[in-house]
Structure 1
């Protein structure tokens, strides 16, 4: 029974505590809200602040918590409050790819958000890489002269390529294209235009910029045939037109055959670097790349001599926009350059080393594809007035949520959660309050659409009535009440229309409020009116009880004695001759004056004769710095060094009396040498080189009593090593160890012999014939007839 009442008492105490905390929090919210004098400022001050528009409302403040407004009889229909909303409009579960339906890799797919200014809404976004997701792989190959053996290798690996892709996903398609360079000087020699391989004493196809050979297809023999039918060409310089070709692969989705829901990958195979934007000027091509498709019916790039090479930035933007990943399969001679390029677009690119004859291309495709699907990253198109921040633990890779929008090394089939914090920072200047934001995976056509509505700043529906007597009375008959705020007549302004307009540009309530905001710098002011501790009355702050200052920025002083101190912004400023936090100590700082001649080592304040140290300093005189040397240790070190040298007979200090005395040279330090120091005291280290040239570490402690300095020194005599004695000791110790080992071995031998002899004696005693050798065995068998036979048949078979 006692236990039951104890539990009841415990629950009552817990309930009381929670109720008290809630009441305190509600009181704090009301304190924050009450000084807001307009509906918009009220709702922006705190999420729990609400505004009352009821004309009959008699309480002094219209901006309070909803519960307090209702308690003060504000009509519920006249209360405007913040109402953030989050609704999921489409939330299909994640699933793998199926032939009859598309995969779902992002959830939810659509949500509705109603944002309140300054408030943050959090959306939980789920992502999982779908198994068997469609893959569109386009092989873009450099077919200049040095790549002829690579082409042959790719042709031979056609069947194996099919099996490699089948192991990655059962739903794949292949495409093929080739590139060389712009067919003009200085990329080629005009005289070798028809046969750019003439310098190699071989015959090859005329140079072309880019040629689309095969659209994406699941017909593997067609891919092998396209590679086999492609022709080697050549160019003059060691740079290729790969960016020209890559741009056409990106911007010609119809010709290439990209599928919207597939993971789109281009593998660019080359052994050289590429021309960049601006290199076209060498050939007189000045037209900027227009990022449009220029493929004719034969798949030839017709803009090669018309448009300059694209820039890396243009390639990157188009890859992002069209959700295409690129794998650079390059030889080791140029891999470092391509890795620098890939670092600029790391979320959608991958680089690996291609062998000299491309024999490792299958392994490279497998490795790079797995790397791509193990990475996920999200981005959005939110406007500048809406802030979106991503947090994730990457499926348990981190112990806590990290501020990041991407994850690496994500296991296939592993569900990853992203938490997206959406915050309305300010209202848009164009006053458009509905927006659509897309949060999308950067390398897939997977996204979440957000229908965002911004809560309008106090959407008042009341019809204004300038002649309403009650409304005019509340505005001092110099304006009328509208939505809980006074609309002032001409010539008046202020919260309650009590302030006449003057010739100093103070013609609006906002201008008056600006005069009640504390300046922070020459150009900025605090956003708080009267520091949120008072009301603004015609440009002047009327402070709450306990606050003072022109902007109510200071607390009132409580413990200041007017005879001893002046109050300045909540702090007691002591008058001459007094000190301390309460200014009740006389101004004598002699007790805080350390041996160095500094008050509290210039690291604290002297409060009634005691040093109050600043962080992180310690000690009677704030001389101890946890991260640096002790100031007093450094001060005493010359004296202690001289005393140790004098004790050891070095006598190098001629001015010992000057060094070991106070700064005014009137008091000599008192010192003593001991064998051991008190371990509880803070010890100072001093290093002295003795007469033998050996550096010795000694320790000392100090005490300051009534400005008298006492030093206790533990001097260590570091004698040189006596090599003769050391050799003798080592020799003796070695001899002793050797004798012990010999004795131990002899003891073990004797013990073994004793055991063997004892065993021999025992076997001798147990032998059948005592005179025989114990290991002798008689070859003649002997049997003895029993003297009496048993008459029992079961014991004697011869019994009758």
Structure 2
């Protein structure tokens, strides 16, 4: 038994020595807390770098250290449990546009990652997205074929030739389908007598009312689509509320009937000019069964259970759209746009609203605009549980200057990559004990996704069975069993090595609680040994630098016992000494006294003749406070006021001697200057002179010791200007200025005239004088030649 006590003593001694070394050498604040932990769970949860040793032959008592420290102290590698994050990219295929050979496009990379998460630690992944070119498009046109939409049907038939070209411009790999809807064929959605011909009131014959009819599966033959639309017939119902959600749900949940392709971008265009019935409206017709979200289309494409199941809710429709990766475009007329916009806001990411003209003539432009909108935006969502936090960061391919916390981007360019940085943090352990999770990160409109296979590191992976052997009991002083690096003590024993006899302690208080400092509230206790020491059998063994029964006090540093007493880490000065270390004689405190006798203006502490001011006070004596409020300025102001008034001859202070002296009757010395230096503290005093003008004067103070006070005063002349003199000066200045301007103007005019005259003279010397044709004689004379006689003979 004696040998056993000796071994326990040496173990405790070794433990304390190691803790001393660790305290002096640790740098990282979190790692310094490792050796305090005495359980595997507490060790791994304290800091990521903390590790736990379960080696039975480990001789150093602190089993919670860093990995390197445990190895240095001969803990075998196979017995070191540590926090270890892991990331393994399983599938990382390169991005590619749609390939006919493989019948697929790759728009996201990587595709699958395996992660191991540690509590309170964050793993970052990079997800790259690029919109693929020529991606397949499945477009299903779901049309309201009630009476008011008859013109829209005709327009759609006329646009058939252009529809092929419009879809070809979007993608070379498209298919189109067609379906129509009206409402539930039952009262009060229709009138019973008009069931076979709901258009009788309009004087026309039309198709009996039906809920939803699937006319054409998805096909790449546009002619078939046009023929199908042309062949369909208009029907009617009673009100302006249609069964669009009934039809939309069947389009979603009947992939085989509709012909949806998994790899295609799936879009439903729902065209209508009316509102929709929602879940609960079926009760009006006695239909109270909740929509079962299953396919009920017969061989002819008719929805057979419209009178059995209620309309689906918007939430049910949204979930099915997201689950099956289908987007919807609400092409609606202006009178119902606002209502459908509110619906679209609740179906964010997978829906869009476009304004449809009264005859649907702009439907091709709406399809193009909406499709491009879906292509140019991406928004990632995930199904992570509450204890796993996933945050997204991106700059949207350079659209933003820096990374922003957002999971979406808009206005993307085709073929351009966008990077998202995904931060995954384990906030807590799962309460159900399931430490493996599968999380999908995806865009609601894409068939692709990133799959995260997550393994959560358990609080402490000590799974070996407890063994009650001689070695395990010796490690715990024969009073317990060693398991997972820790002693599990027998009843009546406690302590890290089960070496504390609980029968000798207060039975109402645990051993650890005896090492906790009690507070005023008896129920509240401090931490074990203030986390500055080790508790052993109810007694604290403090780490270096700490002292006290609970290690609650710092040790006094440089505290001379001849001039001070140490009290819980603070030097309490003996008479005649002051300062933090009591190394200053008390008489030097006179240098911290203001003329009023206050020490540091009662705003700080005097340390060896120098004031250490409390925030926010500043100044030699801590006299300057908020908004430059200054105690000494206020103190010297009466004296300075007397001096200035006497200087200006305004007033003579009879008691200036008393005003300008301190409590010891020492006179203030002062000097008058024209301007103060810029590097001195300034005080401002405002006085009213004989001319009732407020004038600011400036002064500064200097106090080299407790008996001498020096004031430097700048007296300003604020005599007002005589208005008559000022008016005369302004008038004279204005007259002279006008006269100068006039002279300059005249000189400029004369110079201009001289230039013009010189130019005239020069032109005259080179000109030729011509007589005006007005003065020429209008009569002209011509002389006929006289013929000779010979010439007159014939």
Common fold, TM-score beyond 0.5? yes
Contact 2:577–2:583 (CA<8 Å) still a contact in 1?
A: yes
| 1:75 and 2:79 matched | no
Deviates further, 254-263 or 590-599: 590-599
CA drift of 1:499 comes to 4.0
The correspondence of residues 146-165 of structure 1 with structure 2, limited to 5 A, is: 146-165=148-167
Contact 2:116–2:454 (CA<8 Å) still a contact in 1?
A: yes
1:416 pairs with 418, 422, 435, which one?
418
- The aligned counterpart of 1:100 is 101
SS in 2 for 1:34: helix
Tell me how large the CA RMSD over aligned residues is.
Answer: 5.6
Deviates further, 413-422 or 695-704: 695-704
The correspondence of residues 240-259 of structure 1 with structure 2, limited to 5 A, is: 240-259=242-261
Contact 1:696–1:718 (CA<8 Å) still a contact in 2?
A: no
CA drift of 1:196 comes to 3.4
- For the structure 1 residues 230 and 737, does the alpha-carbon distance in structure 2 shift closer, same or farther, using more than 3 Å as the test? farther
Deviates further, 481-490 or 370-379: 481-490
- The aligned counterpart of 1:400 is 402
CA drift of 1:446 comes to 0.9
For this pair of structures, how many residues does the alignment match? Answer: 724
CA drift of 1:163 comes to 1.6
- The aligned counterpart of 1:356 is 358
Contact 2:695–2:716 (CA<8 Å) still a contact in 1?
A: no
CA drift of 1:46 comes to 2.5
* TM-score scaled by length of structure 1: 0.73
1:747 pairs with 748, 751, 762, which one?
751
CA drift of 1:395 comes to 1.7
CA distance, structure 1, for counterparts of residue 634 and residue 125 of structure 2: 62
- For the structure 1 residues 414 and 683, does the alpha-carbon distance in structure 2 shift closer, same or farther, using more than 3 Å as the test? farther
CA distance, structure 1, for counterparts of residue 256 and residue 520 of structure 2: 59
CA drift of 1:64 comes to 1.7
CA distance, structure 1, for counterparts of residue 607 and residue 224 of structure 2: 92
CA drift of 1:216 comes to 1.6
CA drift of 1:228 comes to 2.0
CA drift of 1:47 comes to 2.6
CA distance, structure 2, for counterparts of residue 728 and residue 515 of structure 1: 98
The correspondence of residues 697-776 of structure 1 with structure 2, limited to 5 A, is: 737=741, 740-741=744-745, 743-744=747-748, 746-748=750-752, 750-751=754-755
CA drift of 1:94 comes to 0.9
Deviates further, 169-178 or 523-532: 523-532
CA drift of 1:477 comes to 1.9
CA distance, structure 2, for counterparts of residue 673 and residue 344 of structure 1: 78
CA distance, structure 2, for counterparts of residue 143 and residue 598 of structure 1: 94
Deviations 1:629-684 (A, max 9, x none): 97999999xx9xx99xx9xxxxxxxxxxxxx99xxxxxxxxx99999998888999
1:318 pairs with 312, 317, 320, which one?
320
Deviates further, 421-430 or 31-40: 421-430
Contact 2:119–2:426 (CA<8 Å) still a contact in 1?
A: yes
- For the structure 1 residues 71 and 198, does the alpha-carbon distance in structure 2 shift closer, same or farther, using more than 3 Å as the test? same
CA distance, structure 2, for counterparts of residue 538 and residue 295 of structure 1: 78
Deviations 1:177-211 (A, max 9, x none): 22233333443344443343444444433333332
CA drift of 1:93 comes to 0.8
CA drift of 1:479 comes to 1.6
| 1:301 and 2:300 matched | no
- For the structure 1 residues 598 and 263, does the alpha-carbon distance in structure 2 shift closer, same or farther, using more than 3 Å as the test? farther
- The aligned counterpart of 1:91 is 92
CA drift of 1:77 comes to 3.4
- The aligned counterpart of 1:270 is 272
- For the structure 1 residues 30 and 191, does the alpha-carbon distance in structure 2 shift closer, same or farther, using more than 3 Å as the test? closer
Contact 2:381–2:442 (CA<8 Å) still a contact in 1?
A: yes
1:443 pairs with 424, 442, 445, which one?
445
- For the structure 1 residues 86 and 554, does the alpha-carbon distance in structure 2 shift closer, same or farther, using more than 3 Å as the test? farther
- The aligned counterpart of 1:50 is 51
CA distance, structure 2, for counterparts of residue 635 and residue 282 of structure 1: 85
CA distance, structure 1, for counterparts of residue 358 and residue 340 of structure 2: 16
- The aligned counterpart of 1:485 is 486
CA drift of 1:326 comes to 1.8
CA distance, structure 1, for counterparts of residue 359 and residue 601 of structure 2: 74
- The aligned counterpart of 1:496 is 497
Contact 1:188–1:196 (CA<8 Å) still a contact in 2?
A: yes
CA distance, structure 1, for counterparts of residue 445 and residue 209 of structure 2: 33
Deviations 1:444-475 (A, max 9, x none): 1111222222334544476754332x543331
CA distance, structure 2, for counterparts of residue 118 and residue 527 of structure 1: 25
- The aligned counterpart of 1:347 is 349
Deviations 1:211-249 (A, max 9, x none): 222222111111122222233333333333322222222
1:181 pairs with 180, 183, 195, which one?
183
1:378 pairs with 377, 380, 385, which one?
380
- The aligned counterpart of 1:221 is 223
- The aligned counterpart of 1:238 is 240
SS in 2 for 1:125: strand
CA distance, structure 2, for counterparts of residue 268 and residue 686 of structure 1: 80
CA distance, structure 2, for counterparts of residue 143 and residue 720 of structure 1: 91
CA drift of 1:714 comes to 8.9
- For the structure 1 residues 679 and 481, does the alpha-carbon distance in structure 2 shift closer, same or farther, using more than 3 Å as the test? same
CA distance, structure 2, for counterparts of residue 546 and residue 699 of structure 1: 53
CA distance, structure 2, for counterparts of residue 77 and residue 289 of structure 1: 58
SS in 2 for 1:97: strand
Deviates further, 82-91 or 608-617: 608-617
CA distance, structure 2, for counterparts of residue 208 and residue 678 of structure 1: 97
| 1:65 and 2:59 matched | no
CA distance, structure 1, for counterparts of residue 272 and residue 703 of structure 2: 79
Contact 2:546–2:554 (CA<8 Å) still a contact in 1?
A: yes
Contact 2:352–2:370 (CA<8 Å) still a contact in 1?
A: yes
CA distance, structure 2, for counterparts of residue 591 and residue 231 of structure 1: 105
Contact 2:183–2:212 (CA<8 Å) still a contact in 1?
A: yes
- The aligned counterpart of 1:764 is none
CA distance, structure 1, for counterparts of residue 575 and residue 560 of structure 2: 13
1:171 pairs with 149, 158, 173, which one?
173
SS in 2 for 1:150: helix
SS in 1 for 2:335: coil
- For the structure 1 residues 633 and 606, does the alpha-carbon distance in structure 2 shift closer, same or farther, using more than 3 Å as the test? closer
Unaligned runs of 5+ in 1: 1-22, 647-659, 662-670, 762-771, 777-800
Contact 1:703–1:710 (CA<8 Å) still a contact in 2?
A: no
Unaligned runs of 5+ in 2: 1-23, 646-658, 661-669, 771-794
SS in 2 for 1:306: coil
- For the structure 1 residues 695 and 477, does the alpha-carbon distance in structure 2 shift closer, same or farther, using more than 3 Å as the test? same
SS in 2 for 1:216: strand
Deviations 1:470-491 (A, max 9, x none): 5433312212333322132333
CA distance, structure 1, for counterparts of residue 456 and residue 80 of structure 2: 19
- For the structure 1 residues 542 and 420, does the alpha-carbon distance in structure 2 shift closer, same or farther, using more than 3 Å as the test? farther
CA distance, structure 2, for counterparts of residue 629 and residue 231 of structure 1: 87
Contact 1:701–1:712 (CA<8 Å) still a contact in 2?
A: no
- For the structure 1 residues 456 and 194, does the alpha-carbon distance in structure 2 shift closer, same or farther, using more than 3 Å as the test? same
CA distance, structure 2, for counterparts of residue 589 and residue 234 of structure 1: 101
CA distance, structure 2, for counterparts of residue 372 and residue 135 of structure 1: 12
- The aligned counterpart of 2:146 is 144
CA drift of 1:92 comes to 0.9
- The aligned counterpart of 1:18 is none
SS in 2 for 1:112: strand
- For the structure 1 residues 66 and 195, does the alpha-carbon distance in structure 2 shift closer, same or farther, using more than 3 Å as the test? same
Contact 2:697–2:715 (CA<8 Å) still a contact in 1?
A: no
- For the structure 1 residues 158 and 610, does the alpha-carbon distance in structure 2 shift closer, same or farther, using more than 3 Å as the test? farther
CA distance, structure 1, for counterparts of residue 739 and residue 710 of structure 2: 60
Deviations 1:398-435 (A, max 9, x none): 33332222222222111122222233333334433333
